[in-house]
Structure 1
Amino acid sequence: MSKVDGKFSLRQATLNDQENIWKILQQAIERRKLDFSNQWQDGYPNPESIKNDIENNFGFVLEAENEIIGYAAIIDEIEPAYEIIEGQWLSNQKYMVVHRVAVSNKYIGKGIATIIFQEIEKIVISRKIHSIKVDTNFDNIPMLKILDKLSYAYCGEVYFRGSARKAFQKLLI
């Protein structure tokens, strides 16, 4: 177990970070598998996903003590899968999307994913946007707990790659 001193930095990922990001995502993919989750068991995400995130300025890494300990894609474009929802979004105002949140195995259970989301909220507000949308698999219990803890509202179901996903939204002040 690694000590976390509370000094974190969420920054734009670069192509030099790609290998470290992929290692963290592979760990998260394996954790989902060990949790008997179907999420991320179909070849997604993959190294090409990360490269695309970085090239589109969507990829962000969380660092502590000069070590990459987490990753997330923060997307400031309309998510096509969110255009049709079985349910209702809280609002139809401009939003940012969070995808591919992953934390290094060294830091599991230390609240790092929560910190990633809190830092994302700061970025979103700094861009004068007041809404975040995110989805997760029905069986991704750790993510469902984080979204509940951070007051993301369950809005219904959206579909990705033919599978239903729980969709959430948070309106920011």
Structure 2
Amino acid sequence: MKYHFRKAKLSEITPIWEILQQAIQRRKEDGSTQWQDGYPNPNVVQKDIEKGEGFVLLDGETIIGYSAVLIKDEPAYDKIEGNWLTNGDFIVVHRVAISEKYLGKGFAKIILKRIEDFAVSNNIYSIKADTNFDNIAMMKIFEGSGYTYCGEVYFRGSSRKAYEKVLIEQE
């Protein structure tokens, strides 16, 4: 497979931010309120990368997708209205965005699959994520990738749909 998923570099903030800006504009055109409040922004991306949590999907040398991948680090997930499927270690997926030129070809699902591989390689068997109630595209991607709707979490004052995928059933 020519697509490579790896940690992002600080030198890649510009192309990553371009992809995120495209996604922000798409959310706006779809009538979504998600990402319409100045978040994410280049500082968020820089912090992701500095913490080793920013990841890129490459087609050859071209960055075509971005995601933040956090290990066991999402305080908002402690207060779910609903129930997670598991209570152990988990990976958190945030800020999934695909380049305009690569839309509709399944690359968001490829990113999720690569994150699953990353999780298993770190002996973590749960992935948790959330999205805005009006981000239909991402909800379909989660549901089509085997994620289960678990309830609602709150970020920056707004409610979001929370999902989890269990990779290997624990004994």
Other-structure match for 2:24: 29
Aligned length: 168
Q: Does 1:53 align with 2:84?
A: no
Q: Tell me the residue number matched to 1:81.
A: 76
Quote the Cα distance in structure 2 between the aligned partners of 1:121 and 1:20.
Answer: 24
Structure 2: unaligned runs, 5 residues or longer: none
Cα shift readout 1:87-127 (whole Å, capped 9, x = no counterpart): 00001010010000000000011111010101110001000
Aligned match for 1:149, one of 144, 150, 164:
144
Indicate the percent of aligned positions where both proteins have the same amino acid.
58
* CA distance in structure 2 between the aligned counterparts of 1:163 and 1:86, rounded to whole angstroms: 13
TM, length-normalised to structure 2 = 0.97
Matched, 1:100 2:100: no
Post-superposition Cα deviations, 1:21-65, rounded to whole Å, max 9, x if no partner, equal 000000000000000000000100000000000000000000002
Q: Secondary structure at the match of 2:153?
A: strand
Q: Pick one of 34, 38, 60 that aligns with 1:43.
A: 38
Please list every run of at least 4 consecutive aligned residues from structure 1 whose deviation after the TM superposition is greater than 3 angstroms. none
Aligned to 2:14: 19
**Alpha-carbon distance in 1 for matches of 2:137, 2:131:** 10
Distance 1:144 1:13 in 2: 25
